[in-house]
Amino acid sequence: SVSEALQMLKSHGDDAKLLSGGHSLIPALKLRLNNPGVVIDISKIEALKSISIDGDTLKIGANCTHAQIANSDVVRAHLAMICETAGNIGDIQVRNVGTIGGSVAHADPAADWPTVLIAAKANIQIEGPGGRRSVAAEEFFEGLYMTALADDEIITSVSVPSSAGSKSAYAKFVQPASRFALVGCAVCLKVDGGNIVSASVSQGGVSDHAYRDTAVEEALVGKPASDETMSGAAEQAAEGIDVMSDHFADEGYRKQMAKVFTKRALVAALED
């Protein structure tokens, strides 16, 4: 149970690590980047495996696999972008075993879930010795593999509020071997009378953590839902941000691709 896992975390302290799908922890162990004395397997906790609707909020258990989410009619009816994102993570083996909770806790800057959950205005549900708390996805991801999750806490679920009337899309520039995002942009828009009345835009793979791109949002709200608006807003992508540079893509290339894929996400959202 969650309470048993929390007690084990308390007993073993910094020497313990949680294991669910293992697609974050196992590679770290193989590379000797992590060497815990105790591994606490939470993958069999049934309470963390359900998908449900509570009022107008979608609740996805932390142990739900990417494949389970991708194939869920409940999720698709609530926000199709969530299903589509899950169905394009890694390959079939990764999707069948990897979990949303593990991905969120690991907070890889190139992972898909952080970017999409920020745009969807999701909340991360957490349980620890001090009880239960909820953290907005926008505030949960703090830096490179850094989150608001304390060492003695467990992610129990992800909650996504109603998106009725929203148009959404996620577009990513895929690293072909890993399927991670060299850059990725998620968009949720509301259009009324041909004008964009609200916009939630997030970027992943660009900086050391997924973040909400307010500059793009400001260039959208109150403007006509036109190609000219989309192009102008996309040019604001990754502006004023410390853009990552690595052997996959340098800073200049990554910044340009952020603009390209922001435009693609915006156009796809309007076609939703």
| Cβ within 8 Å of residue 63, ≥6 positions away | 20, 42, 43, 45, 48, 49, 99, 101
What's the DSSP call for residue 202? Answer: E
Percent pLDDT > 90 in the chain is 93
Q: Is-contact 149 125, C-beta < 8 A? A: no
Quote the CA–CA distance of 24 and 116 in Å, as a whole number.
19
Q: Is the pTM of this model over 0.85?
A: yes
Per-residue pLDDT tens over the stretch 2-20? 999 999 999 998 899 999 9
Query: What local confidence, expressed as pLDDT, does residue 45 receive?
Result: 97
Provide the angle, in degrees to the nearest 10, between the axes of the packed helices 251-270 and 227-234. Answer: 150
Strands 57-61 and 181-192, sheet pairing: unpaired
The two structure tokens encoding residue 190: 């509301």
* For residue 86, pLDDT beyond 90: yes
The CA–CA distances, whole Å, from 201 to 2, 42, 60, 177, 252 equal 33, 33, 21, 26, 21
The two structure tokens encoding residue 104: 């969120």
Residue 102: pLDDT band (50, 70, 90) is very high
Quote the CA–CA distance of 223 and 175 in Å, as a whole number.
33
**Helix, coil or strand: residue 190:** strand
DSSP output for 146-161: EES--TT-EEEEEEE-
* For residue 97, pLDDT beyond 90: yes
The two structure tokens encoding residue 2: 């969650």
| Cβ within 8 Å of residue 1, ≥6 positions away | 45, 47
Query: What local confidence, expressed as pLDDT, does residue 163 receive?
Result: 85
Q: Given CA atoms 67, 73, 79, 80 in this order, what sign does their dihedral have?
A: positive
Q: Is-contact 242 252, C-beta < 8 A? A: no
E strands in 221-260? none
Residue 101: pLDDT band (50, 70, 90) is very high
The overall average pLDDT reported for the chain is 96
